[in-house]
Amino acid sequence: MLKTPHGEVETPTFMPVGTRGSVRGLSPAELRAAGAGVVLGNTYHLYLRPGTRVIREAGGLHAFTGWDGPMLTDSGGYQVFSLSRIRKLSEDGVEFTSVYDGSVHSFTPELVTKAQEEIGADIAMVLDECPPANAPYDYHADSMRRTARWAARCKAVHDRRDQALFGIVQGGLFADLRAESLRRTVETGFDGYAIGGLSVGESREEMLEVLGGVAPELPADKPRYFMGIGDPIGVLQVIALGVDMFDCVLPTRLARHGAALTSRGKINLKNARYRTDFEPLEEGCPCEACSGYSRAYLAHLVREGELLGARLLSLHNVTFLGRLCGKARQHIVCGDYESWMSHRIELYASGEARGVLE
């Protein structure tokens, strides 16, 4: 159970990503109906637009966005990876060129921490570097140790008591670097711990091997957060390794490209076979897309580029992952999670599962 000033969240839980203060196409009420417990925002983007002052004057990120549940803000560490062509790293922090107007901004651990305090999310992340998976050992070693020093600086200035601060374990695919990062991060001491630097180009087998070596060693009484996974099979696999929280843009991104997650696998509604398929996306799913429309109509919306299509598919995909986590929680309590997970993965991968999640 994740406890925050804006409510408790049962774990494991999938967290939809609202990078700029909005999960694309979905209102807060729809997110709540979809089963979302925590919504993410991104400090890099919110700092640049609309700016932390505007958010503070609005009463904080919750009041500004209309979402009254728990919120988490990423520090901008992922942008160190994704925007590597327009940033410069130093011991002091990261100098970014704005993706909006080309202006230059210096993100230090202290600035990022205070910005997140001003934004007012329930959970803030330390500033870290997320290197590409194929970076050499020496690069990962230097990056990991700098991230550890940045994390200590973040903690030193973080004084908002109603906001949790999470540390991040880095180290790439190197077991010794991961072990060192884990030790240093836990010794610094945080309210929760994230596993970063994965889902950035490595194989699924490599990802699971690293995660399997890190997650069980993190403090059992603190939340464990895997940064950046949202496919159903991956979600089930990281839950099995002890992860409590995870996020990804995948469900809404797939929706904008006409794809839906179902118990029998991902389906692409641009495929001609769905033009005359009058069944719901997922039998028994309570979302508006499934309870009110057929695959044929949704496929029509997708082909015509109608915004309603992307919105309905986003709602369905977020609902699907929320329900998947709900079923996972039930089977963890029942003690048969491993067998249930294996069955679900086999059926999802083979495309033979039918009807509602079992």
Residue numbers annotated as active site: 74, 247
CA distance 276 to 93: 55
Identify the three-state secondary structure at position 164.
strand
Identify the three-state secondary structure at position 269.
coil
What is the per-residue DSSP string for 42-97?
EHHHHHHTT-HHHHHHTTSHHHHHT--S-EEEE-SHHHHHHTGGGEEE-SS-EEEE
Helix (H) or strand (E) holding 31: helix 28-33
CA distance 21 to 48: 12
Q: Residue 168 CB: number of other CB atoms within 10 A?
A: 29
Q: Is 199 left (phi over 0), alpha (psi -120 to 50) or beta?
A: left
Cβ-contact 145, 169 below 8 angstroms:
no
- For 71-110, b/e burial (b = at least 16 CB within 10 A) is bbbbbbbbbbbebeeebeeeeebbebebeeeeeebebbbb
Among 314, 248, 303, smallest CA distance to 281 is for 314
Terminal CA-CA length for the chain: 23
Q: Find tokens 């641009």 and name the residue.
A: 270
Name the amino acid, one letter, at 194: A
Instruction: Please give the C-alpha separations between residue 200 and each of 7, 197, 237, 252, in angstroms, as whole numbers.
Output: 32, 7, 17, 19
Tell me the two tokens of residue 325.
């986590």
Tell me the two tokens of residue 329.
């929680």
